[in-house]
Chain A
Amino acid sequence: AQSVAQPEDQVNVAEGNPLTVKCTYSVSGNPYLFWYVQYPNRGLQFLLKYITGDNLVKGSYGFEAEFNKSQTSFHLKKPSALVSDSALYFCAVILSMDSNYQLIWGAGTKLIIKP
């Protein structure tokens, strides 16, 4: 079955330290990969995506993610965490871009940045 896994329910990082939020996928074909963030009392916001090309993708708020085909991973990273990065982060995969594409979501990871 097609699936997306975020193995950590919660990640705790001290402010100023690098952060990583993990995402792995199990799908057939070539996936299109996305990261979204949800702040308290708000809807999801798009952070970044990988469609094709360079495996290292840079997105909003200083975040980046690296597509690793051999490890089927798309981990979200930031070199120096801010307290304001505390939020829920969701990884998602789209299997194709035609009219019948499927959107598969990870369960989400709660990121807590401590001052």
Chain B
Amino acid sequence: NAGVMQNPRHLVRRRGQEARLRCSPMKGHSHVYWYRQLPEEGLKFMVYLQKENIIDESGMPKERFSAEFPKEGPSILRIQQVVRGDSAAYFCASSRGLAGVGETQYFGPGTRLLVL
């Protein structure tokens, strides 16, 4: 059973471009979480999705950021018109069922976004 997969592992964008980060959950997992890690800080929660639904987006910036988890295919975190402050590692995690109710999250290796 393959773990959580994220691609690309490294992504370089110029200011103003769009960044698309993909996350394929573990087989059988229908819950996906996105986190951002800034240098010397902990993980910051961004959004929690279940297939075709956003459960909790309280950590998502109001502008330029969006996420989806379609019925088929990976979850996508999309950042429009990237700025240098968006440079960070973005981690995806998945779980089989509802988070925090005895369900463990499994983390992907992360995508490191660098905005020039």
Contacts and interface: CB of A to CB of B under 8 A. Distances in A.
A2 to B, nearest CB: 14
A42 B46 CA distance: 10
Nearest to A40: B100
Interface stretch (A13-21, A71-79, A99-107): A99-107
Interface residues on B, range: 20 to 34
A110 B107 contact: no
B44 A46 contact: yes
A41 interface: yes
Interface residues of A, number: 25
A38 B99 contact: yes
Interface of A: 32, 34, 36, 38-46, 49, 51, 87-88, 92, 97, 99, 101, 103, 105, 107-108, 110
Contacts of B44: 46
B60 to A, nearest CB: 10
Contacts of B47: 43
Contacts of A99: 112, 114
B2 interface: no
Interface in B19-71: 33, 35, 37, 39-48, 55-56, 59
A88 B100 contact: yes
B101 A43 contact: no
